[in-house]
């Protein structure tokens, strides 16, 4: 490897651990290695103390009470526990769940599983800007609706849903509201109590904490929400999630949450400026650039851009030795299908194939952004020189009228 610094703009996939987080975790691997469930000796007490403190830190980040935090192995497990656990707990009241087509696979695939277990699931369309239609949500609610699951912010576009309005609709109809707050927590202010959210899933590794630890917020008072445990064992976490606690991970999660609470605003202000600089530069340097998703209700550090007539993976190959980011192109996945999130926004498959997601983070510098502007613009120009459809577009040919040979 060269000593040259790699630029990381894939912070929605995962973030590096903040060194202050690692420092907080270290004693819990060696000195305080005890099992947090060992109630009768100092090793257990020290571990439990670490967990209790972290639980406070994590709860504070989202405006919850520490008793309402259930630690899990990550957001996927927390989502599974919330959806499956609530369905099992409340299925006598009804079997209908509402979610949206742009949710993370952890939600969509769990809902698919629940359908095989007798659930009826409505998958709401989204508008071209990625926001759900509130009237459509309300119209979808029936007497059998027990749960609405809508993510706070989307991982691919950064689009933020109108959670307050969604919550009001749920309250009016007596449905519980679950939110996947994985991308939002620690990046923008999230107050689950004020928002009237009953279940919320998130993870440490998207907020500069370690991988392998997440949490589910379960509302305790008005209403007292319960979820049926999905793992049997020692009855940890108030019986909702058995398994020995990942003490170092949880301590790291707590530290990451505390740092996020303190630094969120400063990070957001700095990163939104850099993000806007990046986005504006592409618009000025290049033709035929489209920003995907609502730009007003959007995470401060994310932008998803389609560079028309070039394919995302090919484009990334021009600079991926020095810049890391993601594409909505099919070719980055084994499925060969382009991003279902972008397709749900009504983008044609061609635009979805041409998209890149830039997600900035706490350690992104202005120099990173300047280099990215230069490298990506050069890559787009190079790929357009190679692109037959760019040539056709330049000749004034309407690509939608071309008879393509599908394969």
Contact call for residue 161 and other proteins (CB under 8 A): no
Beta bridge partners of 123: 99
Total binding residues toward other proteins, as defined by CB under 8 A: 28
Nearer Cβ to other proteins, position 135 or 402? 402
Nearer Cβ to other proteins, position 3 or 404? 404
Separation between Cα atoms, residue 143 and residue 193, nearest integer Å: 25
Q: Which two tokens mark 169?
A: 């609709």
Contact call for residue 313 and other proteins (CB under 8 A): yes
Q: Are 166 and 137 in contact (CB under 8 A)?
A: yes
Separation between Cα atoms, residue 207 and residue 128, nearest integer Å: 28
Contact call for residue 311 and other proteins (CB under 8 A): yes
Residues 332-351 contacting other proteins, CB under 8 A: 334, 336, 338, 348-350
Active site residue 170: no
Check 17, 111, 170, 331 and give the catalytic one.
331
Nearer Cβ to other proteins, position 162 or 348? 348
Non-local CB neighbours of 333 within 8 Å, separated by 6+ positions: none
- Judged by CB under 8 A, which of 205, 206, 353, 357 binds other proteins? 353
Contact call for residue 258 and other proteins (CB under 8 A): no
Contact call for residue 276 and other proteins (CB under 8 A): no
SS3 (DSSP) at 22? helix
Burial class, 272, CB count within 10 angstroms (exposed 0-12 / middle 13-18 / buried 19+) = middle
Residues 182-211 contacting other proteins, CB under 8 A: none
What phi, psi does 250 have (nearest 5°)? Answer: -65, -40
Taking the complex as a whole, the smallest distance from the CB of residue 288 to other proteins amounts, in Å, to 13
- Judged by CB under 8 A, which of 24, 278, 310, 344 binds other proteins? 310
Angstrom distances, CA of residue 63 to CA of 55, 69, 187, 198: 12, 11, 14, 12
Binding residues vs other proteins (CB under 8 A):
309-311, 313-314, 317, 329-331, 334, 336, 338, 348-350, 353, 385-391, 399, 404-407
């Amino acid at each position: 490897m060269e000593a040259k610094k790699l630029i990381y703009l894939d912070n929605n996939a995962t973030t590096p651990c903040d060194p202050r987080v690692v420092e907080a975790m270290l004693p819990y691997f060696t000195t305080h290695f005890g099992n947090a469930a060992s109630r009768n000796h100092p090793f257990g007490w020290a571990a439990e103390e670490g967990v209790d403190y972290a639980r406070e830190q994590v709860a504070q980040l989202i405006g919850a009470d520490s008793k309402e935090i259930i630690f899990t192995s990550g957001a996927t497990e927390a989502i599974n526990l919330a959806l499956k656990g609530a369905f099992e707990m409340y299925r006598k009241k009804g079997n209908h769940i509402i979610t949206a087509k742009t949710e993370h696979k952890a939600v969509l695939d769990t809902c698919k599983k629940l359908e095989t277990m007798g659930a009826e699931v409505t998958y709401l369309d989204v508008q071209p800007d990625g926001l759900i239609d509130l009237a459509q949500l309300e119209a979808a609610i029936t007497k059998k609706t027990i749960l609405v699951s809508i993510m706070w912010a989307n991982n691919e576009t950064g689009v933020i849903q109108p959670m307050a309005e969604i919550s009001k609709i749920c309250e009016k109809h007596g449905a519980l509201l679950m939110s996947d707050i994985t991308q939002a927590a620690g990046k923008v202010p999230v107050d689950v109590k004020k928002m009237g959210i009953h279940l919320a899933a998130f993870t440490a590794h998207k907020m500069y904490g370690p991988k392998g630890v997440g949490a589910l917020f379960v509302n305790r008072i008005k209403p007292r929400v319960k979820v049926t445990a999905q793992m049997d064992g020692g009855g940890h976490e108030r019986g909702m999630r058995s398994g020995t606690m990942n003490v170092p991970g949880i301590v790291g999660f707590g530290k990451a949450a505390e740092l996020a609470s303190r630094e969120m605003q400063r990070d957001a202000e700095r990163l939104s400026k850099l993000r806007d600089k990046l986005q504006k530069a592409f618009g000025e340097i290049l033709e035929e650039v489209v920003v995907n998703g609502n730009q007003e209700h959007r995470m401060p550090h994310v932008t998803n851009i389609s560079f028309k007539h070039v394919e995302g993976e090919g484009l990334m190959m021009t600079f991926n030795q020095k810049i890391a980011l993601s594409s909505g192109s099919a070719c980055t996945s084994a499925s060969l299908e382009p991003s279902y999130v972008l397709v749900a926004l009504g983008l044609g498959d061609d635009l979805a194939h041409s998209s890149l997601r830039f997600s900035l983070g706490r350690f992104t510098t202005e120099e990173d952004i300047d280099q990215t502007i230069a490298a990506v613009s050069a890559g787009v120009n190079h790929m357009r020189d190679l692109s037959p459809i760019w040539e056709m577009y330049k000749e004034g040919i309407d690509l939608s009228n071309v008879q393509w040979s599908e394969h």
